[in-house]
Chains A and B, each alone.
Chain A
Amino acid sequence: MVDAELLKSLEAIVGSARIKTSREDLLTYSYDAYVKEYLPEVVLFPKSTNEVAGILKLANERGVPVTPRGSGTNLSGGSVPKKGGIILCFTMMNRLLEINRANRYAVVEPGLVVAEFQKEVEKIGLFYPPDPGSSAVATMGGTVLMNAGGMRGIKYGVTRDYLLGLEVVLPSGEAMNTGGVTAKDVTGYDLTRLICGSEGTLAVVTKIIVRLLPKPKTRRTMQAIYSRIDDAGTTVAKIIEAGIIPASLELMDNQIIKAVEDFAHLGLPLDAEAVLLIDVDGDPEIVEKQAKVVGDFCKAHGARDVKVSQSEKENEQLWVARRSVFGAVARLRPTCIVEDATVPVSMLTAAVKKIREISERNRVQIAVVAHAGDGNLHPLVLCDIRDKEEMARVEKAFEEFVDYALSLGGTLSGEHGVGISKAKYLAKQLSPTVMAMTRAIKKAFDSKGILNPGSFLEYAE
Chain B
Amino acid sequence: MIAKELQDEVYNCIKCGLCLMPCPVYKQLCYESAAPRGKVQLIKHILEGKLEPSANFNRILYTCLLCETCTVNCPSGLKVDRLLKAMRAEMVKKFKLPWQKRLLFSLLSGERLLPFFMQWGGSMGNLLMGLAPGGVKVGTIPFAKLPRLNKKPFREQVPEVVTVAAPKGRVLYFTGCATNYLYEDVGRSALAILKRLNIEVILPQGQMCCGLPIFLAGARESALGNIRKNLELFNREDVDAVLVDCATCGSALKNEYVHILEERGENADAAKALSKKVMDISQYLDKFDLKGMLKPLPGKATYHDPCHLARSQGIREEPRRLLQQIPGLEFVEMAGADVCCGGGGTFQVDHPEVSAGITGNKVRAIKDTGANLVASGCPGCRMQIQGNLGEEAAEVVHPVQLLARALK
Contact = CB atoms under 8 A, between A and B. Distances in A.
Interface string B42-81: 1001000001001011001000000000000011110000
A330 B45 contact: no
A57 B74 CA distance: 40
Nearest to A30: B41
Contacts of A327: 74-77
Interface in B1-56: 11-12, 14-18, 20-22, 30-33, 35, 37-38, 41-42, 45, 51, 54, 56
A206 interface: no
Contacts, number: 94
B16 A24 contact: no
B41 to A, nearest CB: 6
Contacts of A72: 15, 17, 32
B41 A331 contact: no
Contacts of A336: 14, 76
A32 B31 CA distance: 14
A272 interface: no
A23 B12 contact: no
A1 to B, nearest CB: 22
A156 interface: no
A113 interface: yes
B30 A137 contact: no
A33 B60 CA distance: 21
Given A23-B51, A137-B17, A45 B30 contact: yes
Given A72-B17, A136-B22, A331 B51 contact: no
Interface in B235-290: none
B30 A94 contact: yes
A384 B11 CA distance: 8
A330 B21 contact: no
Contacts of A94: 30
Interface residues of A, number: 38
Contacts of A400: none
A311 interface: no
A33 B16 contact: yes
A386 B11 CA distance: 9
Nearest to B74: A327
A73 B15 CA distance: 8
B46 to A, nearest CB: 10
Contacts of A34: 15
Contacts of A386: 11
B20 A137 contact: yes
A91 B30 contact: yes
A20 B30 CA distance: 12
A20 B56 CA distance: 12
A394 to B, nearest CB: 14
Contacts of A31: 15, 41
Q: Interface centre among B30, B41, B51, B74, by most A CB within 10 Å?
A: B30
A437 interface: no
A362 interface: no
- Counting chain B CB atoms within 10 Å of each CB, which of A22, A24, A137, A384 scores highest? A24
B381 to A, nearest CB: 25
B20 A71 contact: yes
Contact of B30 (A24, A73, A92, A134): A92
A155 B194 CA distance: 58
A25 interface: yes
A32 B33 CA distance: 13
A315 interface: no
A22 B14 contact: no
Contact of A33 (B15, B33, B38, B45): B15
Contacts of B75: 326-327, 330-331
B301 to A, nearest CB: 25
A432 interface: no
Interface string A22-46: 1111011101111000000001010
A113 B21 contact: yes
A33 B19 CA distance: 12
Contacts of A28: 31-33, 35, 37-38, 41-42
A2 B22 CA distance: 34
Interface in A46-81: 71-73
Contact of B17 (A24, A33, A115): A33
B20 A331 contact: no
A86 to B, nearest CB: 15
A335 interface: yes
A334 interface: yes
Contacts of A91: 30-31
Nearest to B61: A24
A385 B15 CA distance: 13
Contacts of A111: 30
A136 B41 contact: no
Contacts of B21: 71, 113, 115-116, 136-137
Nearest to B32: A28
B88 to A, nearest CB: 16
Contacts of A71: 17, 20-21
B8 to A, nearest CB: 8
Given A137-B17, A336-B14, A25 B33 contact: yes
Contact of A27 (B11, B18, B30, B51): B51
- Residue in B15, B38, B45, B54 whose Cβ sees the most chain A Cβ within 10 Å: B15
Given A22-B56, A72-B17, A331 B12 contact: yes
B76 A134 contact: no
B54 A20 contact: no
B167 to A, nearest CB: 39
B51 A136 contact: no
A372 B14 CA distance: 25
Interface of A: 20, 22-25, 27-29, 31-34, 43, 45, 71-73, 89, 91-92, 94, 111, 113, 115-116, 134, 136-137, 326-327, 330-331, 334-336, 384-386
23 contacts: A22-B56, A23-B56, A24-B54, A25-B31, A25-B33, A28-B32, A28-B35, A28-B41, A31-B15, A31-B41, A33-B15, A71-B21, A72-B15, A72-B32, A89-B31, A92-B31, A94-B30, A113-B21, A137-B17, A326-B16, A326-B75, A330-B77, A335-B11
Given A31-B41, A335-B11, 13 more contacts: A20-B31, A24-B51, A27-B42, A28-B33, A33-B14, A71-B17, A71-B20, A73-B16, A116-B21, A327-B75, A330-B14, A330-B77, A334-B14
Interface of B: 11-12, 14-18, 20-22, 30-33, 35, 37-38, 41-42, 45, 51, 54, 56-57, 60, 74-77
Interface pairs A-B: 3 shortest CB-CB: A327-B75, A331-B77, A28-B38
